[in-house]
Structure 1
Amino acid sequence: MTAPLLTPELESAVDWMVLLSSGSVAAADRVGFERWRQSDPRHAEAWETVNAAVKNSFDALGQGGQRRAAGAVLQAPPARRRALRKMLALALAAGGLAALADRQTPLRTLTADLRTGTAERRVYTLPDGSELTLNARSAVDLDFSLGARRVLLRSGAVYVRVASDASRPFVVASADGEVQALGTVFGVAREGGASVASVIEHSVEVRADGQRRILHAGEGVRFGAGGLGQPDALLGDAAAWQSGMLVVHDEPLGAVVDALRPYRRGVIRITPAAARLRVLGAFPLDDTDKTLESLRQTLPIDVSSLGGWLVGIDLRADGAKKR
């Protein structure tokens, strides 16, 4: 099997790993390695990646003789070290392929009853005739019986238009609580360590940690292990994603980036300082490049892109000084 192509940084990191583990390393080699690792942040990141690949590969072998034998390969003669180099390259590439696959379709949700991939919103008709819209990178399980209609939100967000059925309550449940329909249209989203319910038409009952509250159209509430927050009209816009928009009311930029990630197949990285900036506005979810450019024009940030797959967001130098 031919070893897959890696970035130059990863190629160099693999070479250094083999050399430093060979058992015959000169002092000049160690100095050269430190000079290489510290000369560029990409080198340090590549070194950490290779270290993680080696650790994960050897950990999978357990604590017995197999693992000791694998560790000994690192100190093997040059011909066998070349084989190790190929093995590391394959392991790194496999990890990269898995990461790329997950950016397209979340691997942890493959067993869900209904799910969406990156940048995909999808409308489903449920067995009772209700209409359920899944946000990008979302997943639900269904539990419909003679006495109840339950939708378990595993990740992401749902927007539900409920079909009338007085004999069977309609409930959207998450790890944070439950939202029962008392009318027709509402949304539920998982955000960090909590969930948000937002009511578009009529009303719902929200239940969490032994507390319950009725919400009416235009209201929203955050709920979780600590119970229910206060009703907030601003949270009523939490389901604007259903129409392809992100509506932000004085939220940190980090939260805005979190909302954009399900709509981008690449990776967005943001520094802690930039993540604390406050944002107000409405932005299109289906054109994240346009949204990022709009944010760049209105906030003191630099937005850099590497082939569209890696976006970095940081405070501008002049913006950092002003703050």
Structure 2
Amino acid sequence: MDSAVESRERHEQAAAAWLLRQDAGPWTEQDAAAFEAWLAQSAGHRAAYYRFKGAWQEAGRLRALLGRGTAQPAAAARRRPWRRLPGLAIAASVACAVGLAALAYLLVLSPSNVYATRVGALETVSLPDGSRLTLNTDSRLHVDMDANDRRVRLRQGEAFFEVAKDPLRPFVVEAGDKRIIAVGTAFSVRRSGSDVRVVVSEGRVRVETAGRPAEVLQAPLLDAGMVASTRGDAVLVQTRSPVEIAQSLSWRTGQLVFRDTPMAEVVAEFNRYNTRKLVVEDAAVDELRVGGIFHATQLDAFVSLVQRGFPVQARAEEDRIVLTARK
């Protein structure tokens, strides 16, 4: 057997054993320290663990879908103390975990695999290859992966990608007719209709237009700290400071950060995260500049602060809050 394949299988078996140990309990401080040391030993350990963790979570969902009749025995097995399992039972349990994770892995790689968030919600997902993605509010995407390909189709909204390095399988995000291609990096993609915005916080990505040779469009390479905004075939690339990049990605913690931002843009951002909308009925209010850090879904707190800090009054209606200049 090829040494690389053997190494990967060893990593996967160890990852499955750690997951089983965490699931079975008890989990001590010594266990946690040993696990962290194992993770730190190599990128292969980390990739195997997060790959199997995603598969394990998917397997849990599968057990829940199968009904209580199958879920209860699994729960009973998990309550059995780890140290009381004889060696043969441990080996069998690890094999079962590997098999169950492999089944879930196939499910995760299904073309129908869809992740979505409602308005105001965030979700973080561990992918089978060791990558992680975080979906922003009101977003939807499809994940397709196999031995040769890693592809995400962003249907709407925004997502942040932390890509596990794999030179043989570039990580491709499709957003409309745009392809964002990476190997091992961290970046966000926001899709608004046919317009796409890419923010790179680590590594390097390339932005292409589907069906067009990269050399024809001179597809831009974006390094960390760069932002690309597309409209049609036009691509605007800008370099941003670390503070501005952090501001653009602050939504991952549920916060919105503004620095001398026009009220019209602030209102548009808040409306992405709330079903109750802000409406400005006065052009003078739109031109006000806002700075600060706000929780994306705490609309009432924001409106209260605006009324205290600006000559603005708010009128609450059933499904909206109307902002006008104070007379």
Asked if Structure 1 and Structure 2 have the same fold, meaning a TM-score greater than 0.5 normalized by the shorter chain, the answer is: yes
**Structure-2 separation of matches of 1:112 and 1:282:** 35
**Structure-2 separation of matches of 1:193 and 1:304:** 34
Encode CA deviations 1:132-188: one digit per residue, 9 max, x unaligned.
110111111223233321211111110111122221111222125222224321111
Name the amino acid aligned to 1:294: L
Contact 1:196 1:238 in 2 (8 A): no
Deviation (angstroms), 1:226: 4.1
Q: 2:307 aligns with which of 296, 300, 303?
A: 296
Contact 2:226 2:237 in 1 (8 A): no
Deviation (angstroms), 1:214: 2.0
In structure 2, the residue matched to 1:185 is 186
Deviation (angstroms), 1:218: 2.5
TM-score, normalization: structure 1? 0.57
**Structure-2 separation of matches of 1:179 and 1:298:** 41
1:167 matches 2:168:
yes
Residues 222 and 272 of structure 1: CA distance in aligned 2, closer, same or farther (over 3 Å): farther
Residues 170 and 302 of structure 1: CA distance in aligned 2, closer, same or farther (over 3 Å): same
Q: What are the equivalent positions in structure 2 for 1:237-276 lying under 5 Å apart?
A: 237-271=247-281, 273=283, 274-276=285-287
Contact 1:116 1:139 in 2 (8 A): yes
Q: What are the equivalent positions in structure 2 for 1:7-22 lying under 5 Å apart?
A: none
Name the amino acid aligned to 2:316: S
Q: Secondary structure at the match of 2:269?
A: helix
Name the amino acid aligned to 1:315: A
Higher relative contact order (CA 8 A, sep 6+): 2
- Unpaired runs of 5+ residues, structure 1, are 1-110, 318-323
In structure 2, the residue matched to 1:229 is 236
In structure 2, the residue matched to 1:107 is none
Encode CA deviations 1:43-75: one digit per residue, 9 max, x unaligned.
xxxxxxxxxxxxxxxxxxxxxxxxxxxxxxxxx
Contact 1:202 1:217 in 2 (8 A): yes
Contact 1:211 1:228 in 2 (8 A): no
Name the amino acid aligned to 1:144: M
Identity of aligned residues (%): 29
Q: Secondary structure at the match of 1:212?
A: coil
Q: How many aligned residue pairs are there?
A: 206
In structure 1, the residue matched to 2:124 is 123
Contact 2:294 2:302 in 1 (8 A): yes
- Unpaired runs of 5+ residues, structure 2, are 1-111
TM-score, normalization: structure 2? 0.56
**Structure-2 separation of matches of 1:277 and 1:112:** 43
Deviation (angstroms), 1:220: 1.6
Encode CA deviations 1:104-156: one digit per residue, 9 max, x unaligned.
xxxxxxx9811001221011122322111101111112232333212111111
User: After TM superposition, where is structure 1 displaced by more than 4 Å over at least 4 residues in a row?
Assistant: none
**Structure-1 separation of matches of 2:230 and 2:309:** 32
1:311 matches 2:312:
no
Calculate the aligned-residue CA RMSD, in Å.
Answer: 2.5
Deviation (angstroms), 1:232: 3.3
**Structure-2 separation of matches of 1:171 and 1:119:** 26
Name the amino acid aligned to 1:267: K
Deviation (angstroms), 1:192: 6.2
Residues 240 and 300 of structure 1: CA distance in aligned 2, closer, same or farther (over 3 Å): same
Deviation (angstroms), 1:304: 1.9
Name the amino acid aligned to 2:249: A
In structure 1, the residue matched to 2:115 is 114
Q: What are the equivalent positions in structure 2 for 1:1-12 lying under 5 Å apart?
A: none
**Structure-2 separation of matches of 1:292 and 1:226:** 39
In structure 2, the residue matched to 1:153 is 154
Contact 1:177 1:224 in 2 (8 A): no
